[in-house]
Structure 1
Amino acid sequence: MNKLTTPNNIEIIETIYKHSKDSLLREPFFEVVENEVKHLSTLCQLTPLQTVLFANAIILGYDSSKIQSIITHLGFESYKILSYKDEFKVLFEREFLRGERSRGEINPNHYKVSEYVIQKISNNQPFEIKEKEEMGFFDKLKEFNEVIEEVSNDSLPLELLLDKIDLLRSEFNNVSIFQEINISKFSNFDLFFFLKTLWDAIEAGDNDYNTNVHETTKTFYKSTNDQYRNIRFILNGNSKLIAYNYVALSKHNFRNIVYAGLSDAVEKLVHKYEGVQLGKMEDPNEELIQHKKLAQKELFYNPEEAVEVFKLQEIVMEKSFQKLQKNFEKKGLKPAVSVLFYGDPGTGKTETAYQIAKATGRNIMKVDISSTRSMWYGESQKLMKKIFTDYEAIRKEEKKCPILLFNEADAIIGKRREAGSSSLSETENAIQNILLEELENFHGILFATTNLQENLDAAFERRFLFKIQLKKPESLAASLIWQSKIPSLSEKEAQKLAEVFRFSGGEMDNIARKILMDELLFAQKPEFTKIWSYCESEHWDKNKELQKIGF
């Protein structure tokens, strides 16, 4: 190690990383990096072995973020992770690393390096590692929810969730709120469902029926028969949670999915003992898609699309949008944001609108375009005008300005037909004239999606403030989508599919559904050759020559 007045921690970490490759952690390696390891070990208060593992975790964390990658880099087979489980456990307990774990046991998947540690090391500063504080009530609930998410994503086995429930049952026995409720009479599923409902309310800051009954039950029960039997048990009011008035079900449902919240009695106990004020919002407007009920999805975009989408999302965030509206009005401009998403089918136009709504906390008034094309002449124009009248009334009622979504709007923003050619043409032209007029006076947020951008009527171009094209994913984005939809794919396999098959996200969904059906119905693991054959069959053009499988 070079003799420097102030050793550069990053260079030290790089040196340890480079020399540790394929070293198998043998004695000659430790002799070569003795000074570097000693410095970093003293700084972090770790053993030399823990220091080497941590240094590699920092470098490799920018690439794969997998514990196995560290073991492989050192030259070992993946199973050797078992030999170093205790060392990694210390790194997690001391919060040098954070990631997927349950009761201290490391799940050999993804990890991340503590932001505190990165900041100190990047700034070449020494740091103190504080002893881990005793977890409070809410911290325990949060950790429990993280375990639920891991089990739901099949990252952890259900047995670890059951262990966690048993642990919390004993730990919560002395908590006042649970003493009044008497959780000892709860089955494992009852306690699981109740704690999930409690955390969902606390996390959301309200008791507005945040817990999806179907998804929560399916996380706990892997058998389809058990899932639906217990879902019916809850919905029919036979569960102890319902019978003892601990959990309440929403009177409304979204897409036939029922949601649960805490009962008024439990809500009062949470306020009494934990000082948290939860309240139910007024019944949501049934004409709107509620943003809380939208499933959160990770979407992958091509680079130029990502810039546009994230910029739009920032614009319609509440604080930004209110500021824009005020400034627009001051300058005599229309206080509205109107956006056209255009591109091939299956490229994520509608889902992008949904995810922006979810991220910004805005509900959606979705318009079925076919409903505006009445068979009775003159009725369609009235329906179009009513859409905007209804939206304006809802906008004034809602706390946040909702999004008006014209989905698959090709029929009403396409090029106008020649006047007098037919009564249908006259009706469609009349609808477009009303739409143009309403857009001119529109206040709020409007999203529209279309597959036929080349057919867009010129009169609509200036009505849309933003026009964002979503294309089929390029190689990098496509590779990430493949891996997100079929996790068993290696990076190399995902890249191969991305290069050969120019699919939209929707087409990839089709493949993923077929693979899932094979797994669920026939217990078949998704072999790459099978995935490839499904990709080939997805093409309409059977005569199109495809690159042969292989690397």
Structure 2
Amino acid sequence: MEDQKYRKSPRLLNEFEQIVAAVDKHKGINGPFFKEVWPALRDTGKFFDISAQESALFALILASSGEEPVSAGVIAKRINCNYIQFLKYMESFENLEKKGLIRPYSGNDTFESPSRNFNPIYVIPMDVITAVREGRKYRYEDCESPVTAKDRALKALKERETCNARQPVNSPGTASRSSTPDLLNNLDQIKQLVEKHGLGPEFFNSAKEDLDAVCGVLKVTPVQAALFALLLEKSGAPEACLSGIAQALHCGKIQALRYSGDLEALELKHLIVAFDTEDDNIFSSRPSFLKKRQSQDSCTYIVPRDVFLALEAGREYHYAIYRGLSPEEFFTAADRILSAFSKRELSSKQFLSEIKYLFSGNPDIMFVQKIKSCNFSFTLDMALLYFCASLVEDNNETLRFSHIRFLFGRRNSQEAKRSFMNGKNDLFTSELIEHVCDNGLADTDEYRLTNKARDSFLEDLDLKENKNIKGNNIIHSGSIAEKQLYYPPKVSVQIDELGRLLQEEHFSAIVKRLRESNMKTGFACLFSGSPGTGKTETAYQIARATGRDIFFVDISETKSMWFGESEKKIKSLFTRYNGMVKQAKLAPILLFNEADAILGKRQEIGAERRGPAQTENTIQNILLQEIENLDGGILIATTNMADNFDAAFERRFLYKIKFEKPDLEAKTAIWKNILSQQEDNEMDLSVLAGRFDFSGGQIENVARKATVASLIRGKALSSADITALCEEEQPGRETHHIGFV
């Protein structure tokens, strides 16, 4: 019945309007305000099952934003309270969020955050606004309760405790609660008294009780408590600096320098974070801690969000220890900080403070040393950190731009995306990031660390043992089915010898011996022969038998229609493969299938074909050079036209195996193996093998057709049926279809 009281009535909206008008009239949520609009607060609170204070805050958000997001700072100004006083209302905001009446704003413009360090932004869901307009209750009990900002932050803090297993710390969520429940009021009183009296005897006498409460919780001196109260109110604002402190204390800047040691003590406790003023727009340039140590004169101070949460709960603040981490622990911490920032659990300056602590506490980590020697923008520094952390933590070798979009913000994301797609930013020009190649084709929206980046920035990590080769064109040896192949005696001997060479116990010893003798350690093999003779399948079976994965490349697909792109693809293809050789426990096989497209004789460059011929010749020259420089790698190229090979290519292939059509004995064995379920008992397979000069692939085609026909007919085919299928397969003969009209 309560629901019907408001339905199709403006009463609910009128009462919210009365509440807002009373707030503006009395300049805040105070005694006179509650007295004037208590009936409206009571009715709206009962209607939505919220407190009178929560009803007032909801009315203000509704009036200030409508369907648009509004920051808590805007509400604070409207109720005429300072920053410290406003923190007392955060629990009410969280309750409204839990009931689904408001939700955190999740826009992706990361860098348009307010200057204040702890200023959540809220928006009222459209279905809530509709319910208010229609005068009906908003039912949220069937929805999952959202995780509040505080819950997310506390969860992140708890996760961060594991960053240093040797020095575990307590999370603010688990610290013992202070006996002083109104710590924020103490800090507010200290701020007002210090601004009135400065740091003189009168201040310390007047603020003794409040100073004792704050010092007991935060474990700081009275002077440090006073400075902290000043910075808490001005956190992140331009006045939160030494000059601003001097002004608040009614003294000169030189006199204020006497408190430098107290400010440093607050920094060591991580209660404040100092940033150079040039870092105000932290993502437009490199922060100073990655270039040089800033002077205290130019510092602006912020209070980390975690400290605010601890103060709101009246707890002592404990910070996660990032100092002295191992390389693995360093990237674990980095991954968690980046993840929290991507989920908007950290503001821009909070994120920067966490990265600052992480980097300054671990100067011996190779990534930290190398990144300081670079001259990238901070966003590219963090993008590179994200690539490294994803590889180390999640074994994620490839990333898309969508994974790192949060680092660039809405305004700059499109320009940044183009720079990644075109390969035109400092990470690409420094050869630290590359496009992923699939069958020789570059995927311009998928990226990976180059081998150079791994060797340089991850030098203090052993990635060889725990990194598996990934990609759509990777064929893992364990996924290759065993298949019986038949060869003429000469070919069989060559293949057996190659298979023994590629067994790891032989291959590693041979590579070592060749390297000691200053000889080339790469092995290039050429499989030539007419179609269907088993070239590609032989490469597969060698890979299966030796436990080596295959990096499969359809080389004809690398010949791009755009001039100059094919050469880049060939180079990036070998760059990726060389990286695989260094990472994998067993060197994979680089399989160039149907390589006729680029292994033919180089062309004369005439006026009419200057462009195409020059491009193809350039590709061939690059390929010749890469095969020559193959270091500990294995290349197998298959071709149907070995007679058309350029002589320079012939010299590059150490093993050359010419696949011929099987002899009578081999063909008989093949027929027997694949037609064992089809032919009748009277079928003479040797006659069939002698009559039709088929390759193994052609024999398999006949067998597949026979299988289809037998399934349709419901019985095995006769000798005549098999013979008819062979005649179909033989080129130049008139075909007679079996079982089809």
Return the TM-score normalized by structure 1.
0.47
Larger Rg: 2
**TM-score scaled to structure 2, two decimals?**
0.35
